[in-house]
Amino acid sequence: MPPRRTPGRLRDLLPGLAALLLIGTSVWRLEAARDGVAIEALTLGETPVTVFRPAEPTPGPAVVIAHGFAGSQQLMQSFALTFARNGYVAVTFDFPGHGRHPRPMAGAGGESGSAGLEAELDRVAPVARGLGDGRLALLGHSMASDIVVRSGGATPGVGAVVAVSMFSRSVTPESPPNLLVMAGQWEGPLRGEALRVVGQVVGPERARERETVGDFAAGTARRAVIIPHVEHIGALYAVDGLREALAWLDQAFGRQRAGPPRLESRGPWILLLLAGAVLLGKTVAGLLPVVSPQPAGTGLRGRELWLLAVPMLLTPLALRVIPTHVLPVLVGDYLAAHFAAYGAVTAACILAVRRRRPAGPAGPVSLAALATGVAALSLYAAAALFWPLDRYATSFALGPSRIVLVLAMLAGTLSFSLANEWLTRGPGASRLAYPLSQAAFLASLALAVGLDFHRLFFLVIIVPVMAPVLMAFGLLSRWTYDRTGSPLVAGAVSGLAFAWAIGVTFPLLAA
């Protein structure tokens, strides 16, 4: 299909108008959730802290909210806003190596790493207690679930602990006080972990979901809640989880509520915002300059689709024996190497196809149009995707300590994205080539986890997040290629986006 030379007609603007409507509606709703809540950003030493205060002048108990691995305080805003709108003082912060914290994380897990994270929480907790009425609760997700369990058991005066997606061997029948454990329905073994800690109090055979056992006054209350239809990240946005957490704190602190609580589930609105941003990309792509009047690319055909299995299988097998500990970022170093190796094998597949069916004469390519297209699409990604993610979902800003890291990541991600785009786009390409290539990449990550589960288990959590991201960039790729005629535009921007995402979200490690 030859690229269009003009931006198109009114119908080409309709997706853009629909996108602006989706974006405007979701931003309005996300910002409205802040009404009546005083939000203050602080720095405690080097630690970025955000305080969410309720509208009423008399503060209630303070709740310190701790994010999980590769998370940030923005990821916990649904809990923070829910608590603040219902009379609590909520305090979020970034652990070292995460978000906007300038100091790297000490240790790559284990006891030393946990001790450092617990020390960070213990620095924030007394400050938070002083902002409320003197009573204190802790909430932690995933990695931080173990941290709040440890700190809650060791810190005098903690009234309740909420552990979301908990994995911790520090729970005993007596500690921590008044423990609520929540897990998503799709979190597998974490469901059993929730029931296990309830069984410590009443016996394993009597542990039941959504049955409170023990005594709040004695600090022995326990409850296990399985949140329906969510996974590891969805558990942070589910209305059911927000309701359970708020009700647990109310019971622990003896707070009576006159009316129904105000629950701030931001997940659907964030998804709507990102859907609008992706749809806006169709209009943006239609405005890009033509790079290659004669569509370029290998154009992988139906009978050649088997080639997609080559990088899928070879990459994780090769990296099982090749050292990948080359960057000071946990798990992200392996991802960068996986992208790079996958791209190299894909490039070899391109050469193999060319030997079997030599390409025709290449058409003219406008380097100025290529540079303009890459720049324009990058600006769109920064404004429509990166900024909303940073404000509403998780820390996505590029700090000084991560610039070199993103550039190093770029070498690997560009290898993958440029080679994959060139292989699957082009005259005669199978419609299945691109989606199957993305599925093959995800399958290769799954195989890598199977080969080295201890090191790469976190990929099990992020693959469900990567799948819709790859789908979204697949749409942008299709629209961009139809307009520009070159796979290089979308390939370059996708590589930049992947490098940025890995470089700004995965934890930085101390040398």
pLDDT tens-digit map of 319-352 = 999 988 888 887 888 999 999 999 999 999 999 9
Whether the predicted pLDDT of 300 surpasses 80: yes
Cβ atoms 224, 184 nearer than 8 A:
no
pLDDT at 375: 98
195 and 319, same domain (yes or no): no
Domain finish residue from 223, 243, 264: 264
Q: Which residue has the tokens 């100025």?
A: 368
Cβ atoms 168, 146 nearer than 8 A:
yes
367 and 418, same domain (yes or no): yes
48 pLDDT tier (thresholds 50, 70, 90): very high
Q: Tell me if 87 is assigned to some domain.
A: yes
pLDDT at 213: 96
* H or E, element range at 435: helix 433-451
511 pLDDT tier (thresholds 50, 70, 90): low
* Spatial separation of the C-alpha atoms in residues 318 and 342, rounded to whole Å: 10
pLDDT at 26: 98
* Residue 379: C-alpha distances to residues 366, 414, 469, 503 (Å): 20, 18, 18, 18
Q: What is the tens place of the pLDDT at every residue in 230-241? A: 999 999 999 999
pLDDT at 315: 98
Q: Tell me if 208 is assigned to some domain.
A: yes
Q: What is the DSSP letter of 326?
A: -
pLDDT at 468: 87
Cβ atoms 495, 422 nearer than 8 A:
no
Split into its structural domains, the chain has a count of 2
pLDDT at 6: 46
Q: What is the tens place of the pLDDT at every residue in 371-400? A: 999 999 999 999 999 999 999 999 999 988
Whether the predicted pLDDT of 109 surpasses 80: no
213 and 350, same domain (yes or no): no
Q: What is the tens place of the pLDDT at every residue in 443-496? A: 999 999 999 988 888 888 777 778 888 999 999 999 999 999 999 999 999 999
Tokens representing residue 240 in the block: 């059911």
pLDDT at 328: 84
Q: Which of 380, 393, 395, 383 is nearest to 476 (CA)?
A: 380
Domain finish residue from 244, 264, 284: 264
29 pLDDT tier (thresholds 50, 70, 90): very high
**What's the domain range around 210?**
35-264
Cβ atoms 433, 300 nearer than 8 A:
yes
Percent share of the chain, pLDDT over 70: 96
Q: What is the tens place of the pLDDT at every residue in 63-93? A: 999 999 999 999 999 999 999 999 999 999 9
198 and 255, same domain (yes or no): yes
Q: Tell me if 40 is assigned to some domain.
A: yes
Average pLDDT over the chain reads: 92
207 and 303, same domain (yes or no): no
Q: Tell me if 511 is assigned to some domain.
A: no
192 and 334, same domain (yes or no): no
259 and 312, same domain (yes or no): no
Domain finish residue from 248, 264, 280: 264
What is the amino acid identity at position 87? Answer: G
Task: Give counts: helices (H), strands (E), the chain.
Answer: 16, 8
Cβ atoms 461, 230 nearer than 8 A:
no
224 and 301, same domain (yes or no): no
* Residue 96: C-alpha distances to residues 107, 288, 333, 429, 496 (Å): 11, 41, 18, 46, 25
* Spatial separation of the C-alpha atoms in residues 182 and 330, rounded to whole Å: 26
206 and 300, same domain (yes or no): no
CATH number of the domain residue 168 falls in: 3.40.50.1820
Q: Tell me if 462 is assigned to some domain.
A: yes
* Residue 254: C-alpha distances to residues 132, 217, 249, 250, 357 (Å): 15, 10, 8, 6, 75
249 and 375, same domain (yes or no): no
Q: What is the tens place of the pLDDT at every residue in 396-450? A: 999 888 998 999 999 999 999 999 999 999 999 999 999 999 999 999 999 999 9
* Spatial separation of the C-alpha atoms in residues 152 and 148, rounded to whole Å: 6
pLDDT at 114: 84
Mean pLDDT of 191-204: 92
200 pLDDT tier (thresholds 50, 70, 90): very high
SS3 65: strand
Tokens representing residue 26 in the block: 């979701």
Q: Tell me if 102 is assigned to some domain.
A: yes
Write down how long the chain is. Answer: 511
Q: Which residue has the tokens 């001790």?
A: 115
95 and 198, same domain (yes or no): yes
8 pLDDT tier (thresholds 50, 70, 90): low
Q: In sequence order, what are the residues at sequence separation of 6 or more whose Cβ sits closer than 8 angstroms to the Cβ of residue 439?
A: none
Quickly count: other Cβ atoms within 10 Å of residue 199's Cβ: 18
221 and 301, same domain (yes or no): no
Residue 484 φ/ψ, nearest 5 degrees: -90, -25
Quickly count: other Cβ atoms within 10 Å of residue 201's Cβ: 17
Q: Which of 134, 177, 171 is nearest to 155 (CA)?
A: 177
Q: What is the tens place of the pLDDT at every residue in 174-194? A: 999 999 999 999 998 899 999
SS3 155: coil
Mean pLDDT of 105-129: 85
Quickly count: other Cβ atoms within 10 Å of residue 7's Cβ: 12
Q: Global pTM?
A: 0.91
Question: What is the widest separation between alpha-carbon atoms in the chain?
Answer: 81
Q: Tell me if 30 is assigned to some domain.
A: no
Pick the range with the lowest mean pLDDT from 10-14, 27-31, 372-376, 472-476. 10-14
Q: Tell me if 16 is assigned to some domain.
A: no
* Spatial separation of the C-alpha atoms in residues 128 and 163, rounded to whole Å: 18
Q: Which residue has the tokens 């469901």?
A: 191
